[in-house]
Amino acid sequence: MSSITGRSAVDQAPGPAGDVPRGRRRLGDTLFGGAASASGVIVIAIVALTGVFLATRAVPSLLDDKVNFLTSTRWDAAPGDLRFGILQILWTTVSISVIAMIIAVPVGIGNALFLTQYAPRWLARPAASVIDLLAAIPSIVYGLWGIQVFAPHLLSVQRALNDALGWFTLFAGPISTGTIFIAGIVLSIMILPIITALSREVFDQTPAANKEGALALGATKWEMIRTSVLPFGRAGVVSASMLGLGRALGETIAITIIVSSVAPGTDFFASWLQGGETFASKIANNAAEFNNPASTGAYIAAGLVLFILTFVVNAIARVIVNRRKAFT
Amino acid sequence: MTFWKTSHLLTIAAVGALALAGCGSDDNSTTPAAGGGSSSSSSASTAAIDCGTGTLNGEGSTAQKNAIDQVIQAGYQTQCPDATINYNATGSGSGRKQFIGGQVDWAGSDAAMKPEEATAAATRCMGNPAWNLPMVAGPIAIAYKLDGVTDLVLNADVTAKIFQAQITSWDDPAIKALNPNAKLPSTPIKVYFRTGDSGTTQNFTSYLNAAAPTVWTAAGAQSWAGKGEGREGSAGVAQAVAGASGGITYVEWSFARDNKLDVAKVDNGSGAVELTGESAGKTIATATQVGTGNDLALKIDYATKEAGAYPIVLVTYEIVCSKGLDADKTKLLKSFLTYFADSSTQSGLQDIGYAPVPSAVSTKVETAIAAIS
């Protein structure tokens, strides 16, 4: 029965902190409560101040922008003649993250199910630590490996995609050296350990009674997983995926190394077989020229959009998690 | 339990082996540069030195980092063990800023000081002017990879058209006209440029604008104004070209050599010129001095038609106070710069992809160094 933790009714009985009577409060309680609250407040303050910083620096440049910030594909941040828009950058950022999620979420969930439900114990623990090791590899290593080792192997795949589906705008040519497609796959490997580790933790918490009940009712192993493990872990899996997506949206160095940038003045294109710049790589590629407030503000405006995008994604995740809580 | 431990150890061993294998393949790319360094250290050590003592700090250009590292480590400090010279390659703009702010003793820069910087630098040097001394010259190669073609001649017009995507195939009649004997395939040309701002881009586009003004109408700038695919850093563009047949880029000579790329000869109007230290030096020799007296800021004539001059070169400067440092530092600075400017030191730099500063210029540099007090 040791596997019943966290969500059982017994654990929730003491209720929120206020239950301890006033008169009997000890020093330890006060200190710990204060420290915990302070940690919470500090994190909220950091996020809020980051938002304020981005907004105050971005607004003057946004007001000076001579083209539409949301629909233009130009990026001229020369002071005095600011013409910058984020359409292409937004598309590249979202595309890379979508490819990464399409691959990493199913593989991550499958991986977590394998480690918790199928793998023998002697294999599960070392396998889990190997997957955690993936998260410890610096992103610059992923970037260099991605472009120098992995990309040449993907050439034929990309060419086949282009030949078969070239009429479809996502797979239109010409094929670049460093494409959104390659970056998406490399990024999926980078976020895989996050999704796997968190999903593994929640699947591990599935009450044995639920699993045994399903099996006792005659369910096969797959049916047991479908009816007890997956519904129990759904909220956790959504959280894990959103954390992975957050990393994918903000990844900088690996993207900078892998994806080719496009020549200034190129018209909007949607192809995944071409290059582009994400919000983070755009900022990184130009960080050396942040020497006047006006052009810096243009890049900070891009950073602000990334901030808002991440915020919205996380808010959606919260809503999903809260809605699914009812199940347990 | 034992079995669990064994499997755990095996995983660790496997991961370790993978990591080591990764290191091995990374090292290969830097081997040629290291080889060049060791071979030239012997030639560099022949210069006689009047050693200084103490510590000298410099900061600035990344383009001259390898040259300065080589001069300090392989040459100067082995002969003058009492001197410590540090160079922090953070970028030209940052180097000039730190020099003017009095944080470092000299700055390395890809561009001479602007007038307002010169005024501020004079204040920093206790009212004495600061001088730009051209010390390291780096030729920019038009590097390409094309199966079956190891000898290619381009001129400014054709180069500008290639980088503007007006010429898109290697068997274009314009390229054929310059290379009547080459077997040019119909491979599409893939142009790679440097992402973000870069001094290499600025010098290359300045050359295109000066030598082919009708095709390349944009003035030289740090950000790319042509077509193609952007890659991060000199290593990025060089590796991209090395990756597949048909690519072309502009990159510092050393990177073209490290990645075993072919380098195009440039026809400056008086015949095809191969990129060598000597041919690049000829262009620097034709540069006009825009500074006065011992301030040797140069203006390169990219459109030079002198026979045997390779026109696409980047000159980098050491920016120093003419007076105003304390006596020990002045002695160390003069001693280091004298060693740096010496012809045997300069010719040693050719092995790591730089061009020696030609004697016409280096004589002036030596005069200027002698005048520092």
Whole-number pLDDT of residue B185: 92
Whole-number pLDDT of residue B30: 37
Per-residue pLDDT, averaged over B45-68, amounts to 79
Q: Do B229 and A261 touch (CB under 8 A)?
A: yes
Render pLDDT for B111-150 as a digit per residue (tens, 0 to 9): 888 888 888 888 888 888 889 999 888 899 999 999 989 9
Selecting from B4, B22, B230 the residue whose C-beta is nearest the C-beta of A262 gives B230
**Chain A residues within an 8 Å CB radius of B225:** 264
User: For residues B6 and A19, what is the distance between their CA atoms, to the nearest angstrom?
Assistant: 50
Render pLDDT for B181-238 as a digit per residue (tens, 0 to 9): 889 999 999 999 998 878 889 889 999 999 999 999 998 888 898 999 999 888 889 9
In 3D space, the residue among B366, B61, B23 whose CA is nearest the CA of residue B202 turns out to be: B61
User: Alpha helices, DSSP H only, in A175-269?
Assistant: 180-204, 208-216, 221-224, 230-250, 253-258
Would B6-139+291-299+315-371 and B140-281 be classified into the same CATH topology? Answer: yes
User: For residues A266 and B165, what is the distance between their CA atoms, to the nearest angstrom?
Assistant: 12
Whole-number pLDDT of residue B292: 82
Which amino acid does the sequence have at A261? S
A239 in B contact zone (CB under 8 Å): no
Whole-number pLDDT of residue B22: 43
* Pairing mode of beta strands B262-263, B265-267: unpaired
Residue to mutate among B10, B26, B229, with most A CBs inside 10 A, is B229
In 3D space, the residue among B55, B186, B136, B28 whose CA is nearest the CA of residue B362 turns out to be: B136
In 3D space, the residue among A270, A271, A92 whose CA is nearest the CA of residue A187 turns out to be: A92
Q: Which strand (E) or helix (H) includes residue B280? A: helix B277-285
User: For residues B32 and B21, what is the distance between their CA atoms, to the nearest angstrom?
Assistant: 20
- Per-residue pLDDT of chain A (328 residues), as tens digits, is 444 444 544 444 455 555 555 566 788 899 999 999 999 999 999 999 999 999 999 998 898 888 888 888 888 887 778 888 999 999 999 999 999 999 999 999 999 999 999 999 899 989 989 988 888 999 999 999 999 999 999 989 999 999 999 888 889 878 888 999 999 999 999 999 999 999 999 999 999 999 999 999 999 999 999 999 999 898 889 889 988 998 999 999 999 999 999 988 888 889 999 998 999 999 988 876 676 788 889 999 999 999 999 888 888 878 877 776 555 5
**Chain A residues within an 8 Å CB radius of B193:** 263
Residue of B nearest to A259 (CA): B231
Residue of B nearest to A77 (CA): B223
CATH entry, B6-139+291-299+315-371, from 2.60.40.3080, 3.20.20.70, 3.90.1150.10, 3.40.190.10: 3.40.190.10
Question: In the β-sheet with B265-267, what is the strand arrangement from edge to edge?
Answer: B153-155, B265-267, B272-273
**Alpha-carbon distances, residue B76 vs B325, B335, B373 (angstroms):** 21, 9, 21
Across A135-144, B9-18, B57-66, B162-171, least confident range: B9-18
User: For residues A92 and A86, what is the distance between their CA atoms, to the nearest angstrom?
Assistant: 10
CB-based burial of residue A25 (10 Å sphere; 0-12 exposed, 13-18 middle, 19+ buried)? exposed
Residue of B nearest to A266 (CA): B227
Residue of A nearest to B242 (CA): A148
In 3D space, the residue among B278, B264, B343 whose CA is nearest the CA of residue B307 turns out to be: B278
| Residue-averaged pLDDT of chain B | 83
**Left if phi > 0, otherwise alpha if psi is -120 to 50, otherwise beta: which for B235?**
alpha
Per-residue pLDDT, averaged over B171-189, amounts to 92
User: A285 to chain B nearest CA, in Å?
Assistant: 5
Higher pLDDT, A96 or B370: A96
Per-residue pLDDT, averaged over B298-327, amounts to 88
Per-residue pLDDT, averaged over B297-323, amounts to 89
**Chain A residues within an 8 Å CB radius of B190:** 177
Assigned token pair, B90: 């953070």
CA angle B349, B252, A256 (to 5 degrees): 130
Whole-number pLDDT of residue A17: 53
Whole-number pLDDT of residue B23: 44
Q: Do A122 and B197 touch (CB under 8 A)?
A: no
Whole-number pLDDT of residue A118: 92
Q: Do B230 and A263 touch (CB under 8 A)?
A: yes
pLDDT beyond 80 at B263: yes
Q: Please, which pLDDT band fits residue B48 given cuts at 50, 70 and 90?
A: low
Whole-number pLDDT of residue B39: 39
Whole-number pLDDT of residue A325: 59
User: B279 to chain A nearest CA, in Å?
Assistant: 32
User: For residues A139 and A37, what is the distance between their CA atoms, to the nearest angstrom?
Assistant: 33
Whole-number pLDDT of residue A239: 87
Render pLDDT for B325-358 as a digit per residue (tens, 0 to 9): 888 888 888 888 888 888 888 888 888 888 888 8
Q: What CATH code is assigned to B140-281? A: 3.40.190.10
Domain ranges of chain B: 6-139+291-299+315-371, 140-281
Higher pLDDT, B21 or A212: A212
Residue of A nearest to B247 (CA): A177
**Alpha-carbon distances, residue B125 vs B84, B121, B373 (angstroms):** 22, 6, 11
A289 in B contact zone (CB under 8 Å): yes
B50 in A contact zone (CB under 8 Å): no
DSSP for B102-157? TSSSEEEESSPPPHHHHHHHHHHTTT--EEEEEEEEEEEEEEEE-TT----EEEHH
DSSP class of residue B288 equals E
Do B21 and B325 meet the contact criterion of CB atoms below 8 Å apart?
no
